[in-house]
A and B are shown apart, each in its own frame.
Chain A
Amino acid sequence: MLFAIDFFVRRLAQGVIIVAGIALLIFTLLRVVPGDPVRLMLGPMVSQSVAEQTAKEFGLRDPIIVQFGRYMTQIVRGDFGRSFVRSAQGGSTGGSRGESTFDASNRAPVIDLIGATLPYSLLLAGLAFLISLSIAVPLGIWAGLNAGRAPDRFALYLSSVLVSLPNVWLGLVFIYLLSARTGWLPAIGYENWTYAILPALVLAVELIPIIVRSLSVSVSSNLLEPYVYVGQIRGLTRRRMISAHVLRNSGIPLLNVLGIQAVGLILGSLFVVEYLFNYPGIGLLMINAVFQRDFPIIQAIAIFACAGLVGVNILVDFASTTIDRRLQY
C-alpha cells in the first residue's frame, strides 16, 4: 500500500511537469511556425488593418509568455478556452469581430468539442484493439510456442507484410474495394457503428504486427526460462506451465506494448485514419484545427493526448510491478 502511494505521488508529479512542458512547447510552436489563424478566418479580401485589429482582439499580438500565462490560468480553472473557428452549434466558424459580432459565447468551448468527438474515437480505437487482439494474441502465442518452426515464420512474414503497408494507402484500398466496389461496408463519415469497422480494420492492421512480435518473442523466451523446467520436474504438465505461468509472465511485455506503443500508435494513426475516412472523432477535429490554425483546440488535444500517454504509462508500470514484484526494486 505504502509502495503504491509513493509510486503514484512520485509518478504523477513527474507527469504534471511533463504535461506542462509539452503544453508550453506546443503553445510556443503554434505561434512561431507560419500560419496566422486570423487570415484563415477572415479570408483573402480582408484589409490588413481589419485583420490586425481582429488579431489584437484574440490576444494574438501579446507576447507569447503573456498568452501562455493567461492560458495556464484558464486551464487551472478547468477552462480550455473556446475555439477560434467553430461555433457553439458545432460547425467551423469563420472569424467574427467587432463589438457586436465578436461574440465569444457563439464560439464553441473546446472541452465541449472534445467531449462530442471523443466517444467516436473511443469506439474506433476500442474496435481496433478488439480486432487486433483477437487476431494477434492467438497468432503470437502460436508462433511463440513454435519458435523457429513454420508457425513462427508465418507470423514473422505476415507481420512484415502488415507493418510495411502504409495506412493511407490501405485505407484508400479498403474504401475502394469494400465500400465503393462491393458495397459491403459503409466507409465515410458516421451514421452508425458500422462506419467504424473499416477505419478500425486499418488501425488493426498496424497494431497486429507489434502485438504478434512482442508476444511471440516473449512466449518463446519464457519457455527457455529455468522455472519452466523446474515446474515440469515438480510434476506440472507442460500445458499447465504454459497456461498458468508462461502466458502470465509473457503478458508483461505485451502490457507495455499495448500501454505505450499501441496507445501511441493509435493516437498518431487516429488522426490520419479519421481524416481519410472523414470520421468525426478527435483526430479529424485535430487535423481540421491544424488546417485552420485553431490554436485552442490543438493545444487542448495535445495536452489531453500527452496526459493520456503519461497516465497510461503510469498505470502500465504499476500493473507490471503488481504482476512481477521484482520490478519494484
Chain B
Amino acid sequence: MITRRDIMVGAGALGVAGVLGKLAVPANAQGKKSLVLASMGPVTGNWDPTSHTTLGQGNFEKFVFNALTRAPMRDGEADLLEPALAESWKLIDTNTFEFKLRDGVKFHDGKEFSAEDVKATLEYSCDPARPAASFCPGKVDVEIVDRLTVRLHTEKHGYPASAWWFISSVIPILSAKDVADPKILQKRPNGTNAFKYVETNGDKNILHAYDDFFGGRPKIDEVVYAYVPDANTRVLGLLNGQYHIAERLEPEQYASLAGNPKVTTRKGLTTENKYLHFRCNKAPFDDPRIRLAACHSIDRKQILELMGEAALESSCYVSPMKFGFTDIKGYPDYNPEEAQRLLAEAGFPNGAGLPQLEYITSIGFYPKTKEYGELIAAMLQEQGFNVQLTVLEPAAWEVAIYRRADGQGQGHMCDVGWMTPSPEPDLVLRPNWHSSAALISGINDPEIDAVLDKERNAPNPEQRLKILTEETFPTMAKKVPSFSLFSALTFHGAAKNLEGAVYLPYGPIDLSKADLV
C-alpha cells in the first residue's frame, strides 16, 4: 500500500535519483533464496482445483498439490508413470484399479494423508457438475481397503478402470477435510507438494518451501509466482534480474536471448498440437471429401519453415508427448491433384459453387498464427476454396471457436491448440472428436465414435496402444474432422544461476530439486 509519505518522497524522485545515480533492485530479505517466476497465465484465487480447466491455474497448482502418480513425459518416455502419492498401482480386473499409498505424507495444514483423502477427492472431482470433471474418464466409486490402499471401481459407470492409468497423474489430491467444506477449499490451496501457499498479493502468489515434503525440503525457500501478461515485460524482467524464470517466450525472443550471458534459454516439446478444425456439422465441411480436399491443399512443410524452431513435424492427432503417438500411415499429404479430384467428386470442380469460408485464428497468444493462417488461406485459395481469414484477439477467439448452445459455431474453420496435463490421449481425442463433446468441430460420425470408444474401453494399456495406432488414428486420418498441422514447442528463459528446474511439457515447472547457486 502506498502511503502519503511515499507520495511525498516520490515527488522528489528525480532529484534523489540524480544524487544517488543508481537505485538498485531490492535484494532478497535476510538472504533467503527467493525465486520469481514470471507466468503468462493468471492464477485463480478460487483454490478449488475442480472449479476450472485453465492452464495457468493448473501450472500453479502443481507447486502445491500432488496427484497419485507423476508423469514426467520425457522425450521418448511419454508413457512413463512414476510414484507420487501412490507408491504402486495395478489393475485388479477390467473395472478395478488398486493404488497403494505412500505412508507418512502430511498436508500443508498438518493433516496426515490417507485413503480417505483419495476417496473424497476422486468422488468429488469426477462429479459431472464440477467444471474439471472433464479430466476424469467418468464418475468413479472409491473403496477404502485400508488406511493406505484404495480401489477404484468403474463398472457402474460404464468404462474400464484402465482409463485411470494416466489420469491418476492429473487429478490433484485434496484433503478430505477440505472437500467436506468447499468454502475452505476455495479460500486456500492445501496440498502435499514441495511448496505451500502463503499469500496472494495482487497478481503475485507467494509460496514457501514445505519443510515436511516427502521428497525432501526444497532448496529454494520462496517462490513468487507473478502474472506478467506481456512477453516483452517477462524478457526484460529476466534481463534486469527481477525475474528468475520467464515463461513462454516468443521464438524471436528465444533466439535473441540465446547468446546472452545473463540468462539460459530452453526449448522443449509440449503436449500441444496445433489443429485446423473444420466445422463438420456445417456445409461444406459436413462432407468428408471436402475436408480431405482442404487437407491435401495444405503444404505443411511451408508452415514448418515459417514456424522455425517453434514447431515439430508430426502426422498424428496427438503430440509425441502423448501415449499412442505414431506417425499415421495415410495421413493427408500435400497433393493438389487429389484435392481437385475430391472437389470434383463432391460436385465442386475447382471449388466452383463452394460458399465463402471463414477461417478463424487468433493473434497474441500462439506464435505466428496470423502468418501461417494467411499461408493456409492462400494455399486453399489456390485450389479454389474461397477463404476469408478472421484474426481475433485471444478473448474473442476463445469464444468464437467453441460451439454455442445451439450446436453451431462461428465460421467454417478454426485454428486451435490443445495442451493437456497428461500423456492421456483421450483428453485430446474425446473433447474434440467424440460426438458426445466435439467442442469445436461438431463432428458426429458413428465410425469415429466407435474407434474412440473401442480404444477407451480396452482392458489394458497394451491393447489400447494397438487399437489407437491401428484403428483409431487411421480412421480419423481418413475422415479428417480436423487437420493436425504440427506439434508445438515452448521456450523459457531463466537466470544463469538457476539449476535443477524441470520444465514439464504441459506448462508446470518443478522446482522441488532446483537451487539458486
Closest B residue to A42 by CB, please name it. B131
A98 within 8 A of B: yes
> Contact: B203 with A42, CB < 8 Å?
no
Chain A residues with Cβ below 8 Å from B199 are 89
Chain B residues with Cβ below 8 Å from A119 are 1-2, 7
Within 8 A of B (CB), among A257-307: 275-278, 280, 284, 287-288, 290-293
User: Which of B25, B51, B128, B403 is A97 in contact with, Cβ under 8 Å?
Assistant: B51
User: Which of A34, A35, A106 is B46 in contact with, Cβ under 8 Å?
Assistant: A106
Chain B residues with Cβ below 8 Å from A117 are 202
> Contact: A48 with B439, CB < 8 Å?
yes
Cα distance A49–B135 in the bound complex, in angstroms: 15
Cα distance A36–B236 in the bound complex, in angstroms: 32
> Contact: B396 with A33, CB < 8 Å?
yes
> Contact: A42 with B54, CB < 8 Å?
yes
User: Which of A39, A89, A123, A187 is B398 in contact with, Cβ under 8 Å?
Assistant: A39
Chain B residues with Cβ below 8 Å from A137 are none
- B interface footprint on A164-189 (CB within 8 Å = 1, 0 otherwise): 00000000100110011001111111
Q: Which of A47, A134, A196, A278 has the most CB of B within 10 A?
A: A278
B405 within 8 A of A: yes
- B interface footprint on A24-54 (CB within 8 Å = 1, 0 otherwise): 0000000001111001111111111010101
Q: How many residues of A contact B (CB 8 A)?
A: 79
Chain B residues with Cβ below 8 Å from A48 are 402-403, 405, 439
Q: How far is the CB of B153 from chain A (nearest CB, A)?
A: 23
Closest B residue to A131 by CB, please name it. B14
Within 8 A of B (CB), among A84-129: 85-98, 100-101, 103, 106-108, 116-117, 119-120, 122-123, 126-127
> Contact: B240 with A92, CB < 8 Å?
no
Pick 26 A–B contacts, CB within 8 A, sort by A.
A35-B395, A39-B398, A43-B53, A44-B398, A45-B420, A50-B133, A91-B200, A92-B43, A92-B44, A95-B46, A96-B46, A98-B130, A100-B182, A101-B185, A106-B46, A106-B186, A122-B2, A126-B11, A172-B232, A172-B236, A185-B23, A187-B236, A188-B233, A278-B226, A280-B202, A291-B229
A193 within 8 A of B: yes
- B interface footprint on A47-63 (CB within 8 Å = 1, 0 otherwise): 11010101000000000
B237 within 8 A of A: yes
> Contact: A276 with B13, CB < 8 Å?
no
Q: How far is the CB of A101 from chain B (nearest CB, A)?
A: 5
Cα distance A179–B325 in the bound complex, in angstroms: 46
Q: How many residues of B contact A (CB 8 A)?
A: 78
> Given that A48-B439, A90-B202 are known contacts, is A194 also in contact with B427, CB under 8 Å in the complex?
no
> Contact: B52 with A42, CB < 8 Å?
yes
Chain B residues with Cβ below 8 Å from A6 are none
Cα distance A119–B2 in the bound complex, in angstroms: 6
Chain B residues with Cβ below 8 Å from A175 are 233, 236, 240
User: Which of A96, A127, A184, A287 is B11 in contact with, Cβ under 8 Å?
Assistant: A127
> Given that A50-B129, A91-B205, A95-B52 are known contacts, is A126 also in contact with B10, CB under 8 Å in the complex?
yes
A130 within 8 A of B: yes
User: Which of B26, B45, B134, B242 is A90 in contact with, Cβ under 8 Å?
Assistant: B45
Within 8 A of A (CB), among B1-34: 1-2, 6-7, 9-11, 13-14, 17, 21-26
Main secondary structure of the interface of B (DSSP, over half): mixed
Cα distance A42–B203 in the bound complex, in angstroms: 19
Within 8 A of A (CB), among B102-128: 128
> Contact: B187 with A106, CB < 8 Å?
yes
A192 within 8 A of B: yes
User: Which of B24, B203, B427, B439 is A92 in contact with, Cβ under 8 Å?
Assistant: B203
Chain B residues with Cβ below 8 Å from A176 are 236, 239
Cα distance A306–B399 in the bound complex, in angstroms: 29
> Contact: A44 with B200, CB < 8 Å?
no
Q: How far is the CB of B175 from chain A (nearest CB, A)?
A: 16
Chain B residues with Cβ below 8 Å from A41 are 52, 54
Cα distance A43–B131 in the bound complex, in angstroms: 9
Chain A residues with Cβ below 8 Å from B418 are 44
A191 within 8 A of B: yes
> Contact: B437 with A93, CB < 8 Å?
no
Chain A residues with Cβ below 8 Å from B427 are 45
Cα distance A191–B27 in the bound complex, in angstroms: 11
A197 within 8 A of B: yes
